[in-house]
Chains A and B, each alone.
Chain A
Amino acid sequence: MEARILDEFRAIVGAADLITEPEQLSTYECDGLTVFRVLPLAVLLPTSTEEVQAIVRVCHREKIPFVARGSGTGLSGGALPAANGIVIGLSRMNRILEVDLPNQRVIVEPGVMNLNVTARVAPDGYFYAPDPSSQQVCSIGGNVAENSGGAHCLKYGFTTTHVMGLEVVLPDGSLAHFGDTTVDRPGYDLCGVFVGSEGTLGIATKVILRIMKKPEVVQVLLAAFNSTTEAGAAVSAIIAAGMLPAAIEMMDNLAIQAAEAAVHANYPDCGGLLLVELDGPAPEVETLMEEVVEACTRCGAWEIRLAQSDAERARVWMGRKAAFAAVGRISPAYIVQDGVIPRTALPFVMSEISRLGSARGLRVANVFHAGDGNLHPLVLYDDAVPGQDKLAEELAGEILRLCIRAGGSITGEHGVGEEKKLFMSEMFAEPDLETMQLVRCAFDPEHLSNPDKIFPRPRLCGERPGVYEPHPLETAGVAQRF
């Protein structure tokens, strides 16, 4: 990078917050999906909206691509640096700016940790609902980019449900405000468009969050079944009875083994484990929990446990939340997959996953947000065996195709990022993707903000959308669509 530009960056953030040494830059070369690595030219750590704006203005003037980064816990390569680009790390913008309890709003900077929002309002009986498993370390800005979910989004919704407003530095360095502390601000719902756009539409520098009152009681039930099919039938029975639990999680035997090895959650050794959490007014929860027990029993549960204390409940959840990392205890290497299916397709999809795995001699551990059909198959392999990594990658891809065939999605909460952009053309038709590009081009016509993510091919904003007009490069035989 040219010295004059580095000088300009240094003048904006100060020498201490401009990283250019290769050893230090390597910290930023990947996110939680470590298979993709690109060394950025520089990393800048701004401390204010004004600094972010100044940085982005320079990028816009010089056509330097930039990638915003929170804690780097993403699992789809969304924070992977752009080649010849910079990373804008937002970890120093970590202040909780305002807490408005009567109106149940909290205004934060993007670098605030997810769990710190709840920690701040918990003494007054409130919580911030989205709870991705990485909530101790992941940032609100990252949650906004990825529209993060978590175990409790079955009842409470995703990040987009809880973000009421945003201050955003647009890719040309200008500042815009979307949404507000009040609902129904006139105009397009740009807040809704921005949340989940994976950093491709700009950088959020302030976030207005909705907080909620903690429920009166929370009960967690563990039910052991012989198979995930039986456990899946219990999920359907619970939903069909007209209940909306706070969470329904499922783990198969491999996942249980892993969780036991890692955190000793004291799970029963079974083929399919269901974890059902109900919350709300005490008499309501008691009545409904009886019905859950009944449904589980009817579907073949041979052991049912109700967590009796906060500590016990925390331990039950610890096993589930640690499951991804825990798989490291039973396999030298593994791929974390994230797909969604209609809940009713679960038995079919489970047996297919098992069949696809066996055909390649690979094991798959399964952890699901079963209530909303979000699967997290963990494809286990041995990286010491030549070629097995390729087989595992292939299997992970086949599982995604299975999700698409079942009427589902290639990602429920990890995002498309770098990892799944080729699958976008399998899930969506070309006109769908072209239409999404219209949004992209309105925000970022020069494709500077986290370029080359989400979409399967680079597009130029001058292209006409939709009506199958070949790009001049295609006509000339220089490029082709895929």
Chain B
Amino acid sequence: MPAAVQQVSWSELAADLTGRAGPCPRSTGQEHLRAATAADAVDGVAPRMIAEPGTAEDLASCLRWARGAGLKVTPRGGGTKMGWGNPPAACDLLLSTARLNRVCEHAWADMTVIAEAGCRVADLQKALAEHGQHLALDPLWPERATLGGILSTNDSGTLRLRYGSLRDLIIGITVALPDGTLARSGGKVVKNVAGYDLAKLFTGALGTLGVIVQAIFRLHPLPRETRSLTFSGTPAALEQLLLSILASRLTPVGLQLRAAPGGAQLDIRFDGTAAGILAQVDQVDQVRQLAAPSPAPSDAPADIWTSHQAIWDGAAPALVARLSVLPAQIAAVCALIERSAAARSLAWRLVVQGVGAGYMRLEGDEPALRSTFLALREELAGIGATKPGELKPVVTKPGGTIVALGCPLAVKRGLDVWGPASDAQPLMVRIKQRFDPDGTLSPGRFLGGI
């Protein structure tokens, strides 16, 4: 956050901004409106001002005002992932949820929590831990990331194999729409099929449909005991082991494959009772001996389960991408990345969860980053399309997806971070038009120019 906050009046800002802005909403609170600084730019697009409303109602009226004034708005939570998505076509106002940061209700006996969008993930987890519970998700940068931010980017981590992603954990949502409507869907019970599931629509929508102001989650008990093991081997052998584990009756909480030019590792984590974990550790070694020749595992260092975060650190310039493939294609993806990176002398790292989703990092010069990424996208789209006797693509095209998340702006400007749109794109555009008819929110950041 910028240290120096220049206090200016709303009317000054508004007049400066467009000359068209009418009176500001009474309740927005001028003291929480300030001029933006260069550090607030979203992918090089500098907003003029930042509003930090203190209530959902204020946020909604602020949004309505902005729309009426013809301003373009980008929502911001902790600001950790503002560079995700394509650069916005325009951004006049950053609408911050920083002051909407309360944990409203932790119904621990019902294992649910209601919290505001600006609540930081780590703050929520700390409150939940007092009753031995947690939101079973380990997203990036929990100390700074907010609930609204992880929802809008659909972030997830290593717990996904067991607990699913945010779509499986969110049970209710309140959103502010550009016309000032505050709308709610779902509720605070885990099981509920009344009405459309807007929580899922807004999860991963990157703030293009509305601004999330509150969310309700189902919770899980914190594990009693936990133990992690690491196997080393070639990506191919480790993929075989990973598939054998998935096909066994083991119930790992985490399963991830890490690869880099120096070699590859498979990490596995068990939670549960001491007896249960012990039995599973025995079993996983039996699975290993049957699956593929690889050395016995060792106890894993504590920090392996933040590998998806560590991959964001390293030499610059770099490109970090989210990729998703079938579990049985993980080794093929490793080989693909290794080949593509070597051809252009790039350093690379990869961490993939057992569900097939992961992050890749490439380091090198900017033109090579771009060309390698684009080449990878093309090859990934065709991965798994061949081998006779295997899964034939009937419903969808085969292959995986890759989305560029972090890279130098110069690289990003030369590519569409999302990749090609599908036959659902016209429908997505219609949804965007219904929710945000004037294109007020985050224009151009999402798939297919949405």
Taking CB atoms, residues of chain B closer than 8 Å to A438 are 431, 434-435
Residues facing A in B411-450 (CB within 8 A) are: 418-419, 421-428, 430-431, 433-435, 446-448
Q: How far is the CA of A439 from the CA of B193 in the complex (A)?
A: 16
Are the C-beta atoms of B249 and A213 separated by less than 8 Å? yes
Residues facing A in B152-177 (CB within 8 A) are: 154, 164-165, 167-168, 175, 177
Are the C-beta atoms of B185 and A180 separated by less than 8 Å? no
Taking CB atoms, residues of chain B closer than 8 Å to A408 are 187, 189, 192
Q: How far is the CA of A435 from the CA of B212 in the complex (A)?
A: 14
Q: Is A123 an interface residue (CB 8 A)?
A: no
Q: Is B132 an interface residue (CB 8 A)?
A: yes
Taking CB atoms, residues of chain A closer than 8 Å to B154 are 184, 189
Q: Is B221 an interface residue (CB 8 A)?
A: yes
Which residue on chain B has the smallest CB distance to residue A413?
Answer: B193
What does the 1/0 interface line of A406-437 toward B look like (CB < 8 Å)? 01111111111000100010011101111110
Q: How far is the CA of A276 from the CA of B447 in the complex (A)?
A: 45
Q: Is B179 an interface residue (CB 8 A)?
A: yes
Q: Is A281 an interface residue (CB 8 A)?
A: yes
Are the C-beta atoms of B424 and A213 separated by less than 8 Å? no
Q: Can you offer 28 A-B residue contacts whose CB atoms are under 8 A? A: A101-B247, A103-B391, A104-B246, A105-B391, A107-B394, A160-B167, A176-B423, A181-B326, A181-B396, A182-B356, A184-B165, A184-B322, A189-B204, A192-B203, A195-B197, A239-B111, A281-B249, A281-B279, A283-B279, A284-B279, A286-B275, A342-B189, A373-B191, A408-B187, A424-B195, A427-B187, A443-B427, A443-B430
Are the C-beta atoms of B400 and A182 separated by less than 8 Å? yes
| Chain B contacts to A: CB under 8 angstroms | 64, 107, 109-112, 132, 154, 164-165, 167-168, 175, 177, 179-185, 187-198, 200-201, 203-205, 209, 220-222, 224, 243, 246-251, 272-273, 275-276, 278-280, 283, 322, 324-328, 355-357, 391-392, 394-396, 400-401, 403, 418-419, 421-428, 430-431, 433-435, 446-448
- Interface size (A, Cβ < 8 Å)? 103
7 residue pairs, one from A and one from B, having the closest CB atoms? A284-B276, A192-B200, A466-B181, A242-B221, A435-B183, A283-B275, A409-B192
Do A436 and B198 contact each other (CB < 8 Å), given the known contacts A186-B419, A431-B182?
A: yes
Q: How far is the CA of A280 from the CA of B220 in the complex (A)?
A: 17
Q: How far is the CA of A411 from the CA of B198 in the complex (A)?
A: 16
Taking CB atoms, residues of chain B closer than 8 Å to A107 are 394-395
Do A435 and B181 contact each other (CB < 8 Å), given the known contacts A193-B201, A424-B195?
A: yes
Are the C-beta atoms of B109 and A407 separated by less than 8 Å? no
Select one of B182, B190, B431 contacting A188, CB under 8 A.
B431
Are the C-beta atoms of A436 and B196 separated by less than 8 Å? yes
Taking CB atoms, residues of chain B closer than 8 Å to A428 are 184-185, 194-195
Query: Nearest-CB distance from A62 to chain B (Å)?
Result: 22
Which residue on chain B has the smallest CB distance to residue A409?
Answer: B192
Are the C-beta atoms of A287 and B196 separated by less than 8 Å? no
Q: How far is the CA of A412 from the CA of B189 in the complex (A)?
A: 9
Query: Nearest-CB distance from B311 to chain A (Å)?
Result: 16
Q: Is A369 an interface residue (CB 8 A)?
A: yes
Are the C-beta atoms of A196 and B272 separated by less than 8 Å? no
Taking CB atoms, residues of chain B closer than 8 Å to A242 are 132, 221-222, 224
Stretch at the interface among A145-153, A309-317, A359-367, A384-392: A145-153
Are the C-beta atoms of A187 and B189 separated by less than 8 Å? no
Query: Nearest-CB distance from B78 to chain A (Å)?
Result: 21
Which residue on chain A has the smallest CB distance to residue B109?
Answer: A344
Taking CB atoms, residues of chain A closer than 8 Å to B250 are 281
Do A415 and B433 contact each other (CB < 8 Å), given the known contacts A216-B249, A281-B251?
A: no
Are the C-beta atoms of B191 and A340 separated by less than 8 Å? yes
Q: How far is the CA of A84 from the CA of B434 in the complex (A)?
A: 29
Are the C-beta atoms of B395 and A177 separated by less than 8 Å? yes
Query: Nearest-CB distance from B177 to chain A (Å)?
Result: 6
Taking CB atoms, residues of chain B closer than 8 Å to A236 are 109
What does the 1/0 interface line of A372-414 toward B look like (CB < 8 Å)? 1110000000000000000000000000000000011111111
